[in-house]
Amino acid sequence: MSDDAKHRLELWAEEMHQGHLGLRYKVRRTLYSEESAFQQIDIVETEGFGRMLFNDGIAMVSERDECVYHEMIAHVPMFVHPGVRRALVIGGGDGGTVRELLRHPSIESVRLVEIDPLVIEACREHLPVTSEALNDERVTVTVADGVEFVAGTDERYDLVIVDSTDPIGPATPLFGPEFYADVKRVLEPGGLVVSQAESPFYEAGRQRSMLEILSAAFGRTAIYNYTNLTYPGGLWSFTLAANGDLCPIGDFDAGRFDAANLECRYYNKAIHRGAFILPEFQRANLDGLLSPFKVEP
Ligand code: SAM
């Protein structure tokens, strides 16, 4: 080893979670670091996880495992609804959710409503793996608060995806009842809403309150899990609610999945069904708030 290498400074990005857990990533170099009107935004090139986007020091996207989150947030509702034509994505300025939606031939338009223009700008420059989808002609990017957007829009959607940060700052109302009343208003009859629903281990109270809000407003409610590398604890969830009676298991179109030949890296038919089978502690926490499936998973 040269003297140079021996003394080279090691840089690490550390995400602190709830004050008692730290996740550390070895950083090769910083590609982007700016404070926007809403948050601190950093994109770094890491050892082992590829490029990573951090908002306020919290990992949003890593090239290594972004497929898990984006495939699960998009394909689960897309193979339950019989034909999503218009979709709305709230948050998600990295573009990964939009990318997965666009893989479905039924999609005619996707509107992305991201509050922070710098997230879009930073990802367009340094995270092409997700952000390139934003250049597709079916996509309209709107820089606005998603809460205000759904309260004011006359548009109607078959699918709304809430691809938000944790419930801090401007994302807090995205977890509240007024927002979901507006989401219901902008959903077509039979439409679906899927939301980033945090961790069953760390955010049991939040999951319960989300399901309480959804089950009061929507015909059907469910929660499903996925496992990734970069969110604290690894096991995280999405909620799914139907403005009607679509069942995430009974109405899952396995034949359409086979025909689509998507070649996903995480999502498949068994994962679709298995994701809705919850560990006992999570099931007990959400007791009484989940709709029965039309058929067993
Ligand atoms: N996969 C992610 C995660 O949970 O780590 C979410 C990624 S995406 C980058 C989340 C985005 O939601 C952020 O860029 C943030 O600016 C945006 N956001 C937060 N509150 C919002 C609001 N009220 N309206 C629209 N976008 C919002």
* Residue 60 beta carbon below 6 angstroms from any ligand 1 atom: yes
The number of C-alpha atoms within 13 Å of 187 and in the hemisphere containing its C-beta is: 24
Query: What is the whole-number distance in angstroms between the Cα of residue 163 and the centre of ligand 1?
Result: 6
∠ CA 75-144-31, nearest 5°, is 75
């298991």: which residue's tokens? Answer: 249
pLDDT in tens, the chain (297 residues): 555 566 788 999 999 999 999 999 999 999 999 999 999 999 999 999 999 999 999 999 999 999 999 999 999 999 999 999 999 999 999 999 999 999 999 999 999 999 999 999 999 999 999 999 999 999 999 999 999 999 999 999 999 999 999 999 999 999 999 999 999 999 999 999 999 999 999 999 999 999 999 999 999 999 999 999 999 999 999 999 999 999 999 999 999 999 999 999 999 999 999 999 999 999 999 999 999 999 999
Cα 33 from chain centroid (whole Å): 23
Residue 59 forms beta bridges with which residues? 54
Nearest to 133 by CA among 156, 164, 110: 110
Alpha helices in 94-191 (DSSP H): 96-101, 117-126, 128-131, 146-152, 177-186
Chain centroid to Cα 20, Å, comes to 25
Tokens standing for residue 196: 């980033």
SS3 197: coil
Out of 55, 145, 165, 183, give the residue to mutate to test ligand 1, the one with the largest number of ligand atoms within 8 Å of its CB.
Answer: 165
Q: Tell me if 69 CB under 6 Å of ligand 1.
A: yes
Q: Which atom of ligand 1 is nearest to the CA of 70?
A: 1
Nearest to 196 by CA among 167, 232, 159, 153: 167
What's the confidence (pLDDT) of residue 8?
A: 80
Ligand 1 midpoint to CA 132 (Å) = 18
- Provide the token pair at 37: 């009107």
Dist CA 279 CA 267 (whole Å): 19
Spatial distance between the Cα atoms of 99 and 195, rounded to a whole number of angstroms: 17
Q: What's the gap in Å between 2 CA and the centre of ligand 1?
A: 44
pLDDT at 1: 52
| Dist. CA 72–CA 40, nearest whole Å | 27
User: Would you give the distance in Å from CA 131 to the centre of its chain?
Assistant: 15
The response to whether residue 55 sits with its C-beta less than 6 Å from ligand 1 reads yes
In the structure encoding, which two tokens stand for residue 7, read together? 């003394």
d(CA 33, CA 212): 38
Q: Are 153 and 111 in contact (CB under 8 A)?
A: no
- Which CATH code is given to the segment(s) 66-285? 3.40.50.150
Expressed in angstroms and rounded, the spacing between residue 269 Cα and the centre of ligand 1 is: 28
Taking only the tens place, the pLDDT of each residue in 239-259 is: 999 999 999 999 999 999 999
Closest residue to atom 19 of ligand 1, CA basis:
171
Burial class (CB in 10 A: 0-12, 13-18, 19+), 46: buried
Q: Flag whether the pTM goes above 0.95.
A: yes
User: Measured from the CB, is residue 92 less than 6 Å from ligand 1?
Assistant: yes
- Point out the residues that are catalytic: 163
Domain 3-60 fold:
Spermidine Synthase; Chain: A, domain 2 (2.30.140)
Q: Tell me, using a 6 A CB cutoff, whether residue 114 lines ligand 1.
A: yes
- Mutate-to-test residue for ligand 1 from 164, 199, 231, highest number of ligand atoms within 8 A of CB: 164
- Ligand 1 pocket check: which of 67, 115, 172 to mutate, most ligand atoms within 8 Å of Cβ? 115
**How many angstroms is it from 146 CA to the middle of ligand 1?**
9
Amino acid in the structure at residue 239: T
Q: Where are the domains of the chain?
A: 3-60, 66-285
Ligand 1 and 164: CB distance under 6 A: yes
H-type helices in the chain, by residue range?
3-6, 66-78, 96-101, 117-126, 128-131, 146-152, 177-186, 204-217, 254-260, 269-274, 280-285
Give me 195's structure tokens: 């939301």
**Comparing C-alpha atoms, which of 253, 279, 296 is closest to residue 75?**
253
Residue nearest to atom 12 of ligand 1 (CA): 91
